[in-house]
Amino acid sequence: MPRLRTTGFYVTSSALAVLFLLPLLWTLYSSVSGRQAANGTEGWGLSNYERLAVFGSGLGTYLLNTTVVAVVAVTVTVVTTTLGGYAMARLAFPGRNLLFLVTLAILMVPYTTILVPLYILLGWIGLQNSLVGLGLVLAVLQLPFGLFMMRNCFEALPVELEEAALIDGCTVGGALRHVLLRGVLPGIVTVALFSFLASWNEFVAPLIFLTDGSKFTLPVALFNLQSGNLGSVDFGALQAGVVTSALPCVAVFLVLQRYYVRGFTSGALKG
């Protein structure tokens, strides 16, 4: 009976893995096969990637724009939620719990409803049609989850670690930098990973906040990937764009996977 359960588990897991991987493998296959990929004849080739590379302002420009937005969003999210999570977990001040609940309440608001007010706000501070402004907006959308994660991670660390550092002469900032950050590293990586994936693949916000075609991110550029009469879509180049867009996400996730798993479990443990 145990062997039967083990066999059923592996069969089910394998079936689910195939089910999830099949669309990705089909996309990869379509990006290098067909008439468009082989310059008019059935076969294999990289013509889809060649057309993608010269589309619009160029694939390199769109990748650079997306990278800038992702770096801004990840940096702001990680720094803000780390400091905020420490304050929520370790510092006693009036209204702490209320502030935390209000921040979490943002998750219940559809983010598309606040894009117009944010667009107006960026206009006031001169960051409309700006990659930095877009990165700040995406960071704001990630703050509730990041703050929740980091607060749990700091609460999972023993208070004695910080007290020992303070007794040894560390300041509060020194204890945070040299002792506590090492303990909450899995949580920081998890927040950074979520922020990166969300900002890299975001479509609606860049479509609204960016009006200059040379500043488009990769998802918006792929949406505009049309050629021929009546706006027909170049599906071969589009499939190549999907593969190009997915590869950085897969690579980052594989590199940070072990921290990602530890980050989700660390908040559930005390002491």
For range 118-125, the mean pLDDT:
89
pLDDT digits (tens, 9 = 90+) for 245-270: 999 998 888 888 777 666 555 544 44
Q: Give the mean pLDDT of 183-197.
A: 90
**pLDDT number for residue 196:** 95
CA–CA separation, 198 and 200 (whole Å): 6
DSSP symbols for 211-267: --GGG--HHHHHHT-B-SGGG-B-HHHHHHHHHHHHHHHHHHHHHHHHHHHHHHHHT
Domain 58-266 -> CATH class: mainly alpha
Burial class (CB within 10 angstroms; exposed 0-12, middle 13-18, buried 19+) of 121: middle
What pLDDT was estimated at residue 263?
A: 52
pLDDT in the model for residue 81: 93
Helix (H, G, I), strand (E, B) or coil at 125: coil
Q: From the centroid of its chain, how far is CA 238? A: 21
- At residue 268, the pLDDT reads 42
Residue 150 pLDDT greater than 80, yes or no = yes
pLDDT at 271: 40
22-49 pLDDT, tens digit each: 888 888 888 888 767 767 667 687 888 8
Q: What is the mean pLDDT of residues 136-158?
A: 89
pLDDT at residue 165 tops 60: yes
pLDDT of 229 reads 55
The mean pLDDT of 171-184, rounded to a whole number, is 82
Q: Check: CB of residue 153 under 8 Å from CB of residue 192.
A: no
Q: 158 pairs with which residues across the strands? A: none
Hey, is 269 helix, strand or coil? coil
How many angstroms from the chain centroid is the CA of residue 28? 22
Residues in the chain: 271
* Rounded average pLDDT over 57-69: 93
Across 197-230, b (16+ Cβ under 10 Å) vs e yields: bbbbebeebbbebbeeeebbbbbbbbeebeeeee
Q: Which residue shows structure tokens 């700091």?
A: 154
Mean pLDDT of the chain: 84
pLDDT of 262: 60
Q: What integer pLDDT is reported at residue 114 of this predicted model?
A: 85
Whether residue 207 has pLDDT greater than 50:
yes
| pLDDT computed for residue 169 by the predictor | 77
Dihedral sign, Cα of residue 115, residue 150, residue 266, residue 96: negative
